[in-house]
Structure 1
């Protein structure tokens, strides 16, 4: 297959390009954030350009690109919602039947009650009153609007809802400050940290399957955030120290970071402390039954988990 991947300069987009190419597919990798440079793999074509041209002669689209806040509201909608809708429209006009949208488990909002039963992949996104941040709000609207457009155009829409991404270079923590990785609270809660390569493997399987569906890309085994992060450090970066930070201290750090950015003249959105703290201290599980049915496994994530007991 020939697959278009947007956001190929990002962590997940790059992993998707690698996974698809490794499986033998021809990949058209779209990078807007960095200059286009030759790639030493004849199966990968690196491109920039408009959707009308990029979607020619491809069989499927994997849409990883996303512009994060802070940006003016109009730009935020144009570069995320409008761009995705336009990409699907142009793709369908050129014969694309499968469109993979990368969403997030955060579409369930913060009112999803924690418990022993994992949230099913069939659970609908939250209503607006449950969402406290522009990121999940946009992901929810993307799912809704793309779903309606896909139904009208006859496109097979696949939605991948990943947990919190990490990889061999990026640690599974809430944020890093110098040589410290921070977690909010005691770190005894389970956070859905998942290796980007595992998510990319699910994307590859979903592209090959081609049927419309919603999948969770989340760890199958629930482990506490603090020992998981420390196991990652032992494996990949022994010099990084993971610290559990009390909620008030984390809130103060958020305010100081915002103030420093403002002083330096950098764009900075007022920190949504309530959202950030609640998101980082929840304890939710996510069912991955549909993903398992495709033969998927969180292999790279589990490798880190296995290091906890060593």
Structure 2
């Protein structure tokens, strides 16, 4: 299968490209990095440089492909409050640009589009663990933009233009091929950066008892490969999580794995849900997916393999 990966050189894209190539797929990469920019070595057959909102670039990238793994997006929750219009433009209008390009390609018979969605679309539901049928209620512009893109994907699927799969990812960590998560606004990358000596301490709201769900980027990448052959149509959503852990547990695990101290400065508690955990029954039953590298020790060890030598 010839598969386009948008955002192919990002944290998740890197892992997805590697898993696709390993499974025997031919990969086309779309990147917003300008031509001439040095790119990491990835097993891709073709690289197209262009913004996901650029119709001409997207048309070039989609030419001849059988499926798309759509990862190109803005993803930082805090930043989205400062740039809500930009998040909507990239995440929603960019998705529309991609789907329009596929619709214009009469030679493609209902291509598969696997969309990188997020648990942020759920907001803070009382129901735990969170199932895919929970009514979405995003609490930030990032989640709102991803929900709008998800709904657009569903409408196109139900129209018969595509077969659509939405992977609603919880917190992604770990590393593949020397590429880790560089967003130090997230708990594991920030704790690892403190362990590496780049920051004096980690700030934490409250006592660290809040629990979130984490998944290794390589386990997530395998979910993309499985989703290409998902026996569902026209649209299906799957949660992708694996390991619930509290903020305090993460700090303790980082100290054990790195053998370095992670000083914590506790800030006043903020209004936030005490627990956000994925119900994985759908993806494990329908796609036969299960996490293999998402234990807390593995997540942190693989993240540390990059963070310990990073010069950011």
User: Are 2:236 and 1:213 aligned?
Assistant: yes
Please report how far the alpha carbon of residue 174 of structure 1 lies from its aligned counterpart in structure 2 after TM superposition: 6.6
| Structure (1/2) with the larger helix percentage | 1
**Structural mapping, 1:170-249, within 5 Å:** 170=181, 173=187, 176=190, 178-179=198-199, 180-209=201-230, 211=232, 212-219=235-242, 221-235=243-257, 237-239=258-260, 241=262, 243=264, 245-247=266-268
The 1:163/1:233 distance shift into structure 2, 3 A limit, reads farther
C-alpha distance in structure 2 between counterparts of 1:41 and 1:80, whole Å:
24
1:159 corresponds, among 166, 176, 179, to 166
Residue 269 (structure 1) aligns with: none
The 1:52/1:289 distance shift into structure 2, 3 A limit, reads same
User: Are 2:292 and 1:299 aligned?
Assistant: yes
The 1:173/1:72 distance shift into structure 2, 3 A limit, reads closer
Residue 265 (structure 1) aligns with: none
Please report how far the alpha carbon of residue 61 of structure 1 lies from its aligned counterpart in structure 2 after TM superposition: 0.8
The size of the alignment, in residue pairs, is 270
Please report how far the alpha carbon of residue 124 of structure 1 lies from its aligned counterpart in structure 2 after TM superposition: 3.4
User: Are 2:107 and 1:98 aligned?
Assistant: no
Residue 121 (structure 1) aligns with: 132
Residue 67 (structure 2) aligns with: 60
1:138 corresponds, among 139, 142, 145, to 145
User: CA deviation digits over 1:9-32, x for unaligned, max 9?
Assistant: 221111111111121211111111
User: Are 2:276 and 1:284 aligned?
Assistant: yes
Please report how far the alpha carbon of residue 42 of structure 1 lies from its aligned counterpart in structure 2 after TM superposition: 5.1
C-alpha distance in structure 1 between counterparts of 2:33 and 2:205, whole Å:
31
Secondary structure at the aligned position of 2:166 is classed as: strand
Please report how far the alpha carbon of residue 208 of structure 1 lies from its aligned counterpart in structure 2 after TM superposition: 2.8
Please report how far the alpha carbon of residue 3 of structure 1 lies from its aligned counterpart in structure 2 after TM superposition: 0.8
Unaligned runs of 5+ in 1: 249-276
C-alpha distance in structure 2 between counterparts of 1:291 and 1:12, whole Å:
19
Q: TM (normalized to structure 2)? A: 0.75
Secondary structure at the aligned position of 2:159 is classed as: helix
User: Are 2:81 and 1:80 aligned?
Assistant: no
C-alpha distance in structure 2 between counterparts of 1:288 and 1:238, whole Å:
33
User: Are 2:115 and 1:108 aligned?
Assistant: no
Unaligned runs of 5+ in 2: 51-56, 302-312
C-alpha distance in structure 2 between counterparts of 1:121 and 1:244, whole Å:
35
C-alpha distance in structure 2 between counterparts of 1:278 and 1:204, whole Å:
37
The 1:55/1:38 distance shift into structure 2, 3 A limit, reads same
User: CA deviation digits over 1:46-91, x for unaligned, max 9?
Assistant: 2214111111111111111113545755543332211101201212
Residue 48 (structure 2) aligns with: 47
Please report how far the alpha carbon of residue 149 of structure 1 lies from its aligned counterpart in structure 2 after TM superposition: 2.4
205-214 vs 136-145, greater mean Cα deviation: 205-214
Contact 2:71 2:115 (8 Å CA) reproduced: yes
C-alpha distance in structure 2 between counterparts of 1:307 and 1:9, whole Å:
22
User: CA deviation digits over 1:83-122, x for unaligned, max 9?
Assistant: 1012012123331521111111111113x116xx412123
The 1:244/1:191 distance shift into structure 2, 3 A limit, reads farther
C-alpha distance in structure 1 between counterparts of 2:300 and 2:8, whole Å:
30
Residue 266 (structure 1) aligns with: none
The 1:43/1:79 distance shift into structure 2, 3 A limit, reads closer
User: CA deviation digits over 1:246-276, x for unaligned, max 9?
Assistant: 236xxxxxxxxxxxxxxxxxxxxxxxxxxxx
